[in-house]
Structure 1
Amino acid sequence: MTSTHTPAHLPTRRLGTTGPVTSALGLGAMGMSDLYGPADEAESIATLHAALDAGITLIDTGDFYGMGHNELLIREALRGRDRDSVRISVKYGAQRDPAGNWIGYDAGPAATKTALAYTLRRLGTDHVDVYRPARLDPQVPIEETVGAIAELVQAGYVRHIGLSEVGAETLRRAAAVHPISDLQIEYSLISRSLEAEVLPAARELGIGITAYGVLSRGLLSGHWSAGRELHGTDFRGHSPRFQGENLAHNLSLVEQLGRIAEAKGASTAQVAIAWVAQQGEDIVPLVGARRRERLTEALGALDLRLDPADLAAIEAAVPVGAAAGDRYAAAQMASLDSERR
């Protein structure tokens, strides 16, 4: 259905050499359904509408975000809009029970195809623009997973194949089976482990980066405070970087970043997002705004240019490895193919 809305035009970037062209900033919808505590559904829809109207064309979700709720939310937000003007990126594979507990992972060929069938029904669409396993399944060779998605591409249900949180060797093995559009991976001023091996491999293979966690789950936003109380369902309550002395140390880094932002007439969040965006034209930052005012702030990062002096000041304030605590708890870190050395 054709929209009566006329979206604005934002700068664009291509996801790798074979992927789709999208807005230079994407919206990650996870927090609207899961993992960050309760969200306001009406405000979530309003934020999705505001993103589309502002010219954001990349919406990222996962079938396990709220056990399908996130996909249904996106379906509602797209009602009456031009589906072909939006690129929907979907992750799958995480297994959860009715209580929301994480109970395993399955990216086998049959699970891959079944998951997509449910995703298409929830989204109310006949195709997904980028489909990706959320993690490497240790029980299934990446060639089998990519091969199954390649069959879905051939059948017209998927446009492009992406990956998430995999290492350089896995990227190479996957790309040998089928072109990979982009790697979704955490990348921020305090999460830079991909720079050593993963990012060079992606560039060698012509694979783009969709960077999530650019504000490190809100830690780099300039809006976080040490005394903030977290809802029981907010995973940051168990995240190492948000605990005790780690949090105090990390907030001191944010304070220094804030001083640089103030001198630029920008917000701390805008500087953090702009820094990621300026690490390469092959990188599209994803922001997890759940409210319209946070979305507006994030969009302002696209107008911010950091010159060499700014970048040097940021590097001095928040050098590589400066953060206290890992980005996930130990068990989750151990499951990340991207973090294996």
Structure 2
Amino acid sequence: MIRAALIAWALMTAPVAAQELVRDFGPESATETLRLRSTTDIAVLGPVIERFLETRPGLRVAYEQWGSNALYGLQASDCAAGRAGADLVISSAVHQMVDLVNEGCARPHRSAITAALPDPLVWRDELWGVTREPAVMVYNRDLVPPAQVPRSRFDLLDLLRPTESPFRGRVATYDIERSGLGYLFAFADSMEATTFGGLMESFGRSGAIATCCSAEIIDGVAEGRYLVAYNVLGSYALVRARRDPRLGVVAPLDYTLVLSRAAMIPSTAGQPRAATQLVDFLLSPEGRVALEQALLIVRLEDGESTALDLGGAAETLQRPIALGPALLIALDAHKQALFRARWRDAFPETGGAAP
């Protein structure tokens, strides 16, 4: 049974939340409907779902797009109540997904395709990493001179150091109180980087902005309200940069976090067979091609094909976020409280959890 603290936290962060968008894929005459809940933008993952359905005329996918904290709360609530809801869940907040699996909220699936996954991308045959997306820095090409483009966290610190820096108040990142993904990236940084303390101090001193979500941050950079955005999910940034020449996207040279969105079949799924088919498709060669075309698989070794700036280096140091119990540290109540307090010191105006 889900522990009481998890339920309380999940419901507190999103008590009246609803899905952000809804869209149905497949024929109305389909005899089966798979309910997919995901944090992935429908516009990004939709073409992959359409590819999956091409050879499945009897299946329809009801796609619900959610914010990560709201989705976590809903799945925790469904699990605790034994209530049917989603047939498949895909979230970028993979620490929350590990917690749901750890609490018995998932059902296992094993196939030749899932069995072939490397250990960091599968846990207990109940959670699978289905994408490959870097955390990047985004900048405005029109407003940031080439010599000032930050190519590492050290460069970003240097830009923020001068008292009269033009970057004061014009650097943005995720608000960890509102974004489960933002919390995950920031926590991973705190465990990984010697620069983390300096970044927090510099963000606070320079009036950096913490805000809710990828689209808002990327819009702000494109429009010039922000000059640089830090730790943005690279898939979304690269999709926008494809059609907006104002945007530049950099994989930090000191190290680049790499996220694999996690897929889980809830224990209460009403269509588990269809869910396993979609999981296997996403991990199949055909599914990988579709995901790469959607920029949900980004190869850091080949920045030229995606417009990802690798700073002239042959490769950047990659830090994949592995699926497994180590991620539960990020949800430890004591560590969370300390980490959030430290965050509020740097971003006192963030205002807490989203409604």
User: What TM-score do you get using the length of structure 1 for normalisation?
Assistant: 0.26
User: What TM-score do you get using the length of structure 2 for normalisation?
Assistant: 0.25
The structure whose RCO (Cα within 8 Å, separation 6+) is larger is: 2
Larger Cα-atom Rg? 2
